[in-house]
Amino acid sequence: MQDEEIDILRWLANAGLRGDEPNQMFRAFCERCSRAGIPISYAMGLMDTLHPEFEGHAFEWRAQDNGPRPLQTYSSSDSGNVRETWESSAFNHLRQTGESELRREIGKGAPVDFYRLPELREEGCTDVIFHIERFTRKGSIGAMDAFYSVWGTDEPDGFAEDQLALLRRLLPTLALALKSVGSIRIVKTLARVYLGQDAASRVIDGQVARGQAETIDAIIWLSDLKDYTAIMDAARPEQIIPLLNDYSSVVIGALHRNGGNVLKLIGDGVLAIFKGPDLTAAASRALQTERELRRDLDHLNRRRGARGEPSTGLYVSLHLGTVFYGNIGSRNRLDFTVVGPAVNEVSRICTICKTTNNDALVSADFVNVCRPASREGLSPLGEFSLRGVSEPMVLYTVNRG
């Protein structure tokens, strides 16, 4: 084993341990291989991931690049143009045959019979290698079961056999380093998607012990679909999940834009908090979220109505309270959420929305921390006895300008 090879392998191991950005790692690998005598003019790497919005990441490099290219994503290959591209690719052929490598010496007259080969020939490539490093089922996460790569050269005689032999010896470690980084990204993505942004950060940072919680003052948000039961009874089964997704997207999008932390999806409801330490600023962000939600909801209902789909409205309740924020549950099943009397109270306030036919109600405690200008947009509705709450509460409506 030559010194250059040892240096690249050692560097790859450290890059994986450090958690380097994958596109930067891929670029640096290509540059190091070029310095070690492998005349790469073009390279691309592909690896599936586990993400609700796209199927995987792509890394691309050309010898004339001055810096790393942005990390690319690609969508699901189950249908449409992406499916057609996959079916015409050398990687699909390799998956079907069970082989790990396919070579096309196009400078010597080899056919350009797979996706990307005609373009690579136009770019001057004379020799192209398609390679798969497969993971075992035990070593896979979802569809992340292999690292796919393309290697091209513009040398007149193509790759020499010793150059390809070196590249083949390096590729398993490159795949392992990228898989290590990719696995960490999957963990962070799943945590954010299922726990919410702030809770995910805390869990990933190590806050995983049962009962590990803190007492915080927060603005508590609870929203709920209007007439949910009636809509579910009237809607066709195939309409229910798209309906929930549409309305959840509107609520969660508005919350995230304004710094709300979504903690739980409860059927058709969304529980979220706006954290301090400046509760006045948190209250302003909560009211801004509610205003944006109404605008987005109006647009959504118009779109759904134009398509002949059922539409509805949303109730929103806002409250201020002291809550326990952290891990609650059993030893092997935890939930990172908020608990305390204030959480029960915001749920009861949402119930008053329904009984009084108000689409948004806020508590007097919430109003007390609002800026004077914000208070002008709130009107007292009266005093209400809430089930399970010892003292009556004064509730306020949100004025519509």
pLDDT confidence tier of residue 68, bands split at 50, 70 and 90 = confident
pLDDT confidence tier of residue 1, bands split at 50, 70 and 90 = low
Q: Where are the domains of the chain?
A: 3-194, 209-398
Question: In the chain, count of helices (H) and strands (E)?
Answer: 13, 14
209-398, CATH topology level? Alpha-Beta Plaits (3.30.70)
Structural contact between residues 154 and 127, judged by C-beta atoms closer than 8 angstroms = no
Same topology between domain 3-194 and domain 209-398: no
Task: Fill in the amino acid letter for 396.
Answer: Y
Return the beta strands (E) in 207-343 as ranges.
Answer: 213-225, 261-266, 269-275, 314-330, 333-339
Collapse the DSSP code of 378 into the 3-class scheme (helix H, G, I; strand E, B; otherwise coil) and give the result. strand
Tell which residue, 22, 17, 41, has the closest CA to residue 31. 41
pLDDT reported for residue 211: 79
**167-175: average pLDDT:** 98
Share of the chain above pLDDT 70, in %: 100
Mean pLDDT across the chain: 93
Q: How many alpha carbons lie under 13 Å from residue 345 in its C-beta half-sphere?
A: 25
Return the beta strands (E) in 120-201 as ranges.
Answer: 127-134, 146-153
Q: How many alpha carbons lie under 13 Å from residue 328 in its C-beta half-sphere?
A: 12
pLDDT, tens digit, for every residue of 7-23? 999 999 999 999 999 99
Biggest alpha carbon–alpha carbon distance for the chain: 87
Distance between CA atoms of 69 and 55, rounded to whole angstroms? 19
Query: How crowded is residue 1: how many other Cβ atoms within 10 Å of its Cβ?
Result: 8
pTM: 0.82
pLDDT, tens digit, for every residue of 210-260? 878 889 999 999 999 998 888 888 888 888 899 999 999 999 999 999 999
Backbone φ/ψ region at 357: left (φ over 0), alpha (ψ -120 to 50), beta: left
pLDDT confidence tier of residue 401, bands split at 50, 70 and 90 = low
Neighbouring residues of 277: CB distance < 8 A, sequence distance ≥ 6 = none
Query: How crowded is residue 305: how many other Cβ atoms within 10 Å of its Cβ?
Result: 11
Tell me if the domain spanning 3-194 has CATH number 3.20.20.70: no
pLDDT reported for residue 233: 82
**Per-residue pLDDT at 80 exceeds 80:** no
Residue 340: its H or E element = none
What is the DSSP secondary-structure string of 57-100?
EEEEEETT-SSPPPPEEE--TTSHHHHHHHHTSHHHHHHHHT-S
Enter the DSSP assignment of 108: G
Beta bridge partners of 152: 42, 128
Beta bridge partners of 383: 394
